[in-house]
Amino acid sequence: MAKVIVTGGMGFIGYHLTKALTKEGEHVYVIDKKIFPHTDLAKIEDLRDVVNRIQPDGIIDLATLPLNTSITEPFYVINQLHLMICNLLDLLKSG
């Protein structure tokens, strides 16, 4: 049984993925603003804290920002998603 972090696990795809992984016997940890409102995945310190506490075998990144923000502030959303992915890759690279 693997420990898997699913970012954005409260969204449509994340919910169904989490359900399927759990059914397969995996230990799933959902990281989502709806569950952890003070965790900002665009901040490497927050992401590092979550990963260090859970020590996952895998991470599935489905995190995004609300649709209305994507429409009204598309460049902000692109920047935030870029930061989240870069932080995640940097953290995984450093072990």
pLDDT tens column, 44-95: 999 899 999 999 999 999 998 888 999 999 999 999 999 999 999 998 887 6
SS (HEC) of the chain:
CCEEEEECCCCHHHHHHHHHHHHCCCEEEEECCCCCCCCCCCCHHHHHHHHHHHCCCEEEECCCCCHHHHHHCHHHHHHHHHHHHHHHHHHHHHC
Tell me the per-residue pLDDT of 51-65, one tens digit each, with 9 for 90 and over. Answer: 999 999 999 999 988
Higher pLDDT: 1 or 19? It is 19
Is this prediction's pTM over 0.85?
yes
